[in-house]
Structure 1
């Protein structure tokens, strides 16, 4: 391709009726699981084996159920507030998805997000979250608020060549600016294919999105890539933040990360803030923003708006 050699391979997943499943939706789900197993193992074609499924047997029907969840409005948008630690203007939150299953009740994301990533359905979930956030930002309740909402992007999202176009379409549909969003990307998502990731991040940055590296400190990114990427923010992984009270090693990592980010002109968010003592220490270390259960748990949209209204009337944290 343009004088460059490109190595191509294919992964094929097979599921057979009636041994592997007895209905079309489950056959499709299991063939997709086998396909991604074939891609991981570089083995060409693989027939479905229950050992390919990373979760319990109950999750095997999740793909078809997730498709129905989107079609039947079973997904719910939740927002977890972020607070500025030094009086910076504006409001911020992280967007999260919950599933109000008609039989199982409120399904926690740990029970379906990994499965969605495994099967590729996470792209539809990301677009659903982005659309719901855009709809919220355009609503009468929120359009007067200086609110910036973070949306998580998976590896599959970042490597989708149409991602920037899809997001631009949603923004245009709701009349919302890209600057009202912060897109959070994990280090591992960037390093899976650094060149393609860098190209997409540059496109998203040019559109006006704020970009954040999530779970910083747990991945594989080098300082050389960090300097080159058009990111605006580092988000310190909660394992380091929660460990600050137990020992100085984690506190030193947090302090060093904050200093590194500020020296690179980036802002810093600490997640996993579960005590007042950790919040106070982060403020002392000049961390810019914080989120965690001490501040607020993820909230349904109406509860989040009510929480923000109460914060505006109360003294700062």
Structure 2
């Protein structure tokens, strides 16, 4: 398999026509057909379905098309990535942010990156903490902003935010709650929480164990939307990071109270694989992300303490 064959394959897939692809590539149609036949023979699959109006990708062709685009893009960017410097970073960087603060952090980060590093192509996604770990390990993301990264082996990290947990409940149920609720009282409330694979659950379970208490978990919900929905309906309370429910609190659907306990907090950190050196572009994103978090904390848009 050669890069030339992949380029030919991608152009045929794009134009849906061997004739049009041959014209745009400046290659004789029989030669183009020969290259594709050799590629199909090596892979042992049919990549195109031929018909009177042209060609369509087969199921195997659809799978190859996505990977071929990545490989060609990576090859085309190779020289640029090797020659970039810390002063002029260039290239694509994929960042994954834990869902609780992604909507707060991503917009100002994208704006500042576009202003300071216009040649860095930053792609931002959000996910839950255990999903982020898998993305980093698989190389799907170069960087992440996620909680309690120190517990994950094989990762380097820089802590940027310590955020508190608070008690959330339906507004009418929270009216009689004091401004500072003892953790022993929280443990006695019916709670909704994600399962034990999730960081938010681990934090409150750890605090409960240290205090010799058992939590009354009535609902295990791994969807933030469902969890907030159950709390809004008054079916349960929730102990969650303070930055998670801004919109619901702002609209009055939920109310919140501080918790009087051993520190119920978690640390958000910028994370990357220890055995993979950051490119200048990824390093620029890391530094700008840390600065963005500091600014958001100073402006009161992120709750917690900048680390």
More strand by share: 2
* TM score, norm. by length of structure 2: 0.31
Question: TM-score when scaled to structure 1?
Answer: 0.30
Greater RCO structure (CA 8 Å; 6+ sep):
2
Structure number, greater radius of gyration: 2
